[in-house]
Amino acid sequence: MPKLIVVTREGEERALDGQTGHSVMEIIRDAGIDELLALCGGCCSCATCHVHVDPDFAAKLPAMSPDEDDLLDSTSDRNATSRLSCQLPFSDALDCLKVTIAAED
Ligand code: FES
């Protein structure tokens, strides 16, 4: 099973089993990492699933929608690696994708 590597706000790194077809947000949430609030449940309307993605994987990720872009603009910790994890479908091609949970707003 492909792995998703998650770095928490405390700097703890965890390797999770990545279910293909689930979003990165769902994999993190289902692993019990509750600092990723994901308040809207993946509807792209809250930005509480904000992560920073390893730039090496940027080309393998789907393009950012205007809605995702707008929501990320509302966060204080946005940078060039920012994505909303609910908008990232996980797949075998993303094996060992590393994401870092962004600072809380
Ligand atoms: S869970 Fe709300 S925008 Fe991702």
Express each pLDDT in 5-33 by its tens digit: 999 999 999 999 999 999 999 999 999 99
pLDDT in tens, 55-83: 999 999 999 999 999 999 999 999 999 99
Is the shortest distance between the CB of 46 and ligand 1 below 6 Å?
yes
The proportion of the chain whose per-residue pLDDT surpasses 70, expressed as a percent, equals 100
- Cβ-count burial 82-102 (b if 16+ within 10 Å, e if not): bbbbbbbebeeebeebbbbbb
- Number of the ligand 1 atom closest to the C-alpha atom of 71: 3
Q: Say how many CA atoms lie within 13 Å of 5 toward its Cβ.
A: 11
Cβ atoms within 10 A of the Cβ of 44, count? 15
Q: What is the pTM of this model?
A: 0.97
pLDDT in tens, 31-48: 999 999 999 999 999 999
Is the shortest distance between the CB of 25 and ligand 1 below 6 Å?
yes
Q: How far is the CA of 87 from the centre of ligand 1 (A)?
A: 8
